Structure 1
Amino acid sequence: MKSPQLVAVPLLGLAAIIAFAFDHKNALGTEPIAKLIGREGNTGVLVIALGLLLAFAWRHKDRALALWVVAVMLVETALYGALKAITWHGFHVLARPSGGDGGFPSGHTAAHVCLAYILTERYPKLAPLWWFWAALMAWSRVESGAHFAYQTLAGMVLGGLVCLTLGQKLRPPPEA
């Protein structure tokens, strides 16, 4: 496959279509599964995947990989936090479906898009798995009632933009 990142387009596109088609809590009757993916799945995958990437970088004394992973995830988190602060704190717009504090953009979705990008760069043969998980995370946020579809789409765009800019500029050379 010439560009394994292209796997993202159909998978994230399908997740967006499903999210917009069923843009309300428990639309598919799978809310408990969606909540599990969004809570335990989010934490587990981020901790395990980022931990393994950083452990690999440390083990192989690959500072470029470690700095790249940390920079991409920190910039995504900072931009997500800034957008959330701008759209909620002080303005009270773009709330969650529950009416709770700012739901724009979906931070879970943005983080998992960045993670899928990083993992695809390091392990391109598993690209469909990484991007399937990111798409599943985006879907779970809508199905669980945590976000509206446009909020997960914004998370996809945020994660994609961070990765397309930092991912290209800071990406370490591929494994030998």
Structure 2
Amino acid sequence: MYDDIVGLAGASPGWLQAVGVLFTEAGLLAFAALFVWMIWRARASPVRLAAALLPPAATAIAYLISEAVKGVIQEDRPCRHLVTLVACPPTGDWSFPSNHSTIAAAAAVGLALAWRRLAPWVLPGALLMGFSRVFVGAHYPHDVLTGLVLGAVTAWLVFRYLSGPATKLARRLTAHAGDAPTQPMPTVSPRGDSKGPLLPPRR
């Protein structure tokens, strides 16, 4: 399957190759821009801001897991000694799983869970990002599939188990921030007797 896709890339028009090379890197920037946009929109509400911070948190966690797996499996890149659309990473930059695919899936699922209207756009975008990694010759298909599953599952778990605590923490911090320290006013009875804290007499 890798040979077929890379062969298709090599035989495709120059503009399509350029789009594949651009998308395989620029797609990550697009997800980062969506993170910033979502956080900006939610800045006025601490509770919404807590939910908006979960997608980038899930993406970071998925990336760290992917890097750990890479160090254990140490699968060499398929592009070694081959002519591909992008330069093959140096030896030691392992192939399994695909970091790009992991990040794209975690970001897409996280964004879709935080803001459902983005789902029709970001989920296909993550799939295209994964395909582009094979198209340019950087990864085997199983690297991409594993990365997509890893990122998606990580994002789902983060929302499943951290959205509640994050919302409670945001509400608690908001409540504390809204409690301004005030000095109780003394109560004056009809007879003129004050009930409450009094200022010390001047000397």
| TM class, shorter-length | 0.7 to 0.9
The yes-or-no answer on 1:96 pairing with 2:81 is no
- Residue aligning to 1:79: 65
Give the letter aligned to residue 167 of structure 1: F
Structure 1 unmatched ranges of 5 or more: 1-18, 89-93
Displacement after TM superposition at 1:39 (Å): 1.4
The secondary structure found in structure 2 opposite 1:54 is helix
Greater RCO (CA < 8 Å, at least 6 residues apart): 1
Are the equivalent residues in 1 in contact too, given 2:56–2:107 (CA < 8 A)? no
Identity of aligned residues (%): 24
Distance in 1 separating the partners of 2:120 and 2:4: 24
| Aligned counterpart for 1:121 among listed residues 96, 101, 113 | 113
Displacement after TM superposition at 1:28 (Å): 6.3
The yes-or-no answer on 1:24 pairing with 2:6 is yes
The secondary structure found in structure 2 opposite 1:104 is coil
Displacement after TM superposition at 1:112 (Å): 1.2
The secondary structure found in structure 2 opposite 1:171 is helix
The secondary structure found in structure 1 opposite 2:46 is coil
Alpha carbons of structure 1 residues 115 and 28: separation in structure 2 relative to 1, 3 Å: farther
- Residue aligning to 1:7: none
Structure 2 unmatched ranges of 5 or more: 81-88, 168-203
Query: Following superposition of structure 1 onto structure 2, how do residues 131-170 of structure 1 map, counting pairs within 5 Å?
Result: 131-170=123-162
Q: Deviations over 1:59-91 (max 9, x none)?
A: 322352244234312211110111122222xxx
Alpha carbons of structure 1 residues 21 and 129: separation in structure 2 relative to 1, 3 Å: farther
Distance in 2 separating the partners of 1:126 and 1:111: 17
Q: Deviations over 1:89-123 (max 9, x none)?
A: xxxxx222223420111111111111111221232
Are the equivalent residues in 2 in contact too, given 1:106–1:147 (CA < 8 A)? yes
Distance in 2 separating the partners of 1:35 and 1:142: 11
Alpha carbons of structure 1 residues 27 and 164: separation in structure 2 relative to 1, 3 Å: farther
Distance in 2 separating the partners of 1:165 and 1:129: 21
The yes-or-no answer on 1:56 pairing with 2:41 is yes
Counting matched residue pairs gives 149
Displacement after TM superposition at 1:27 (Å): 5.7
Rg comparison, structure with higher value = 2
Are the equivalent residues in 2 in contact too, given 1:23–1:148 (CA < 8 A)? no
Distance in 2 separating the partners of 1:164 and 1:126: 16
Distance in 2 separating the partners of 1:145 and 1:82: 22
